[in-house]
Every structure is written in structure tokens, then in C-alpha cells.
Amino acid sequence: MRQIFQNAQWIWTAKAGVNQYVEFRRDFFLEEVPAQARLFISADNEYVAYLNGVFAGCDQYDDFPMHKSYDEIDVSHLLRAGENRLEIHAYHQGEGSFQYLPGPAGLIFALETGSLRLVSGPDALARESALYTCGPMEKVSGQLGFTFHCDATRPENPWAAARVVDARTDTALYPRPVKRLEIGAPVKSVLHATGGYLLRGGDTVAMEMQRAFLSPAAEGAEGAYFLFDLGREEVGLPTFRVSSAEEATLRFGYGEHLEDLRPRTWVGSRNFAFSYRVAPGETEFTHYFRRIAGRYLMVFAPRGVQVLSCTVVPMTYPVSRRGSFRCGDSLMNRIFDISRRTLENCMHEHYEDCPWREQALYAMDSRNQTLCGYYAFGEHDFAAACLRLMAEGQRPDGLLEICAPAQAAITIPSFGLGWIFCLRDLALYTGDLETPREMM
């Protein structure tokens, strides 16, 4: 690790804030295209990397503030002879949730090409994102943290020299302990229903969508609603393509089921919705910073806006194998197939209780998931990594935090015993005795 990030420094903008999106840039020159190039990267708490304008990778492993995982990404195919540009967009939540423990904002990277070694430092350029709205806003849920809103009509902020984050000098770095998530082809969505809408107020976009009046006719409406069906529960990155004659604000909602023609975008204090203000012309956008889940996507598009597509890009854990089960009862076979896929949807950097509203690692929930995962996928390393995350969340009183990584006012004492049973299960089902010894 010391060699990989030698001379690299944690960097950020001059001012760090809650729910902040920051862009970084480094330009460099290559005499020729190298045979191999690797990007090593870590962030608090998410990143998206681009080389020469092409997406290279994203998704920081869920970890603890001063014990950070780093990713290794092969970028050989994205380099070119002459001028090159490395761009990294980073997100800092800054406020705790059930899957994020706050630490100092920061990004660290090292690009190795053989003939060139590029590292993060004050010679990188940085600026707060103008596309994303930064600062406190409504939350998806208490477990997930903030939702997001975008405005493509705002002028870009000026670049400035990145600031070295002294508070991260002693941050320990280690390789990602599980495989990186795989990004697939966009899911084919089907237009399920369309009509007109009239907004009837609300404090958040999710509340506006939930309260809006819907009509099968578009006459006299503020705009058109579009309800897309993904065919089944899907987990991935929200993506859309629209064309607009003028500036316009679109509202997007998502959910697992329908009620009164729409997904449940607003459930109590939860907000399963986001907004995007587009400039005139065609806009194509993918939100790489968080997976969403559900079967249905709904779009509120003002007059003059054409919705060309709306779906998710699957982001899934690459399981080693898929176990099989077949018997003479077709219903039991179907239950097995659906259950296995449900478990797969709940595999992120760790097992999570549900992919829609929490995405949180609970010890007792994950005992069921690891037991099923041993049979369904043979994912031993994935289970062991979950147990290590839980162990890092041990409190001074010996109990585990309610989730990991997190720090909450409440805990569930019996989950500590559940974690011990998880260690026993790991030894019995995988033969791994070293991890239980280490953890105990």
C-alpha cells in the first residue's frame, strides 16, 4: 500500500460541506500509449472516475473513516498518445446514516502507466459541482442519507488548486476485500401508462409527486407523466434521456409497487424521488453515486419535454457461481429462483437488509443471508468481509453498532450474539478457521 500511494495526498476543495459533490482534474502528456495502466483510488465516501471523457469506474467500498479501502482499475484502454485528462467526481455525505460513518472529506489517487506516475496533491484542480445541488436537503431515508437534485443550467464553478486534507494523514488504506460491482446494459423498460399531471404542493419533490393529480388526458395539465415498468425488481443506477425545447425541471420517482397509478415516492419522512433541471436540447444522464431499487419509475415532464428513455443500469455483485435447486413442485422451483435473485439484489459492498429503502448491514439479517449465500453462490469471502465490517463497529461497551459502518443512538444487543453465530457458521460451512480466530 505504501508504494502504491507513495507521495499521494488526500485532497479536497478549500471548503468541505455536508452532502457535497466535488470535481477534480489532472491533465498529463504521454509520448506513447502504455501497455498497461492502473488507477488506484479511494474517497470519502463515493467516487466516479473518467479518463479522456470516458467512464472508467465508480463505487467506493463501504468502510470506516480512518481505515479506508482502495480500488484498482485497469484504464489501459482509455489512454492515448499526447494530451490526456483524468477527471474524478467525488461525493462526501458528511452526515451519518445507517451505511455511512462520517469522516473528513477527501480523495486520494495514483495513476501508474509504467513511464508515468501521477498522484493526487495540490497540483490537481478542484471545484464544487455546479450540476449537483450541494448542502442539506431531504433524505431518501434515515438509513440511506440524502437524495439528490441536479441543475444543468447553472454556470460551472471556476477551477482552483486542490487543498491537502491534513486530517487524513494517518488514514490506513487496504485493498478492497471483495470484488467490484459489475455494470451491465440498461434494463429494457416498458411504458406502462401515460397522461397528464397537476401539482398540488408539497415540501419535497417526492411529496409533490405523491400528491399530484393524475389524469389519463393531457389537456389542461402542467405536463405529462410517464410510468415505466422494468418487469421485475431491479437494482442499479438511474439513467434517462430527454429532449427539451427550453429549460425545464423534471421529477423522477421510483418504487417497488403501484398504488393509485404511481409508485410510493413519499412514505412518511422517506423520499424516493429526485429532480433534474435540463437545458434546451438533448440530455442524457446517469447517477453513478448511488444504486436505487424498484420495479417502477415515474417521470413528471413539463410541456415541451420529450422523454426518450428512463430505466436503470444494473450494478450487481459478480457471484462466483449460482447454485441450483429443482424438485417436482414447480411452485417451489419458482420460489427458489425468486429468492436467490432477491438475495443477489441485496449484495452490494456487503449484504443489505433491502435494496430499496435501507441498504444497511445488520448482523441478524445477514446471518440469514450468509447461510443462504453459502448454498446459492458459494460466496465465502463476501461473508467474511461482512463480519469484519461488523467487528469494526464494536462499541466501547462491547456491543455492536446497529449497522456497519455506522454510528447510531440505538443498538440491538442480541445482534452481538448473532454475529458470534455468524462466525460459527463461517467455520462450519467454509472451513475458514482463521477469520473466526481473528475476529474473536
The Cα–Cα gap between 74 and 112 comes to: 10
pLDDT at site 2:
54
Mean pLDDT, the chain, as a whole number? 95
Look at residue 1 and tell me whether its pLDDT is greater than 70: no
Look up cell 431518501; give the residue.
140
**Rounded (10°) angle between helices 363-376 and 330-345:** 120
Confidence bin at 381 (pLDDT 50/70/90): very high
Q: Alpha carbon 213 to chain centroid distance?
A: 32
| Cβ neighbours, 10 Å, residue 120 | 27
Cell of residue 285, nine digits: 444522464
Burial 247-266 (b: 16+ CB within 10 A, else e): ebbbbbbbbbebeeebbbbb
- pLDDT band of residue 220 (cuts 50, 70, 90) is confident
Percent of the chain with pLDDT over 90: 94
Q: What predicted TM-score, i.e. pTM, was given to this entire model?
A: 0.96
Q: What is the pLDDT of residues 65-114, one digit of tens each?
A: 999 999 999 999 999 999 999 999 999 999 999 999 999 999 999 999 98
pLDDT reading at 176 higher than 80: yes
- The burial class, CB within 10 Å (0-12 / 13-18 / 19+), for 381 is middle
Please report which confidence band the pLDDT of residue 11 belongs to, taking 50, 70 and 90 as the band edges.
very high
> What confidence score (pLDDT) does residue 219 get?
83
Instruction: List the one residue out of 13, 30, 22, 80 whose CA is nearest residue 46.
Output: 22
Q: How much of the chain, in percent, has pLDDT values that exceed 70?
A: 100
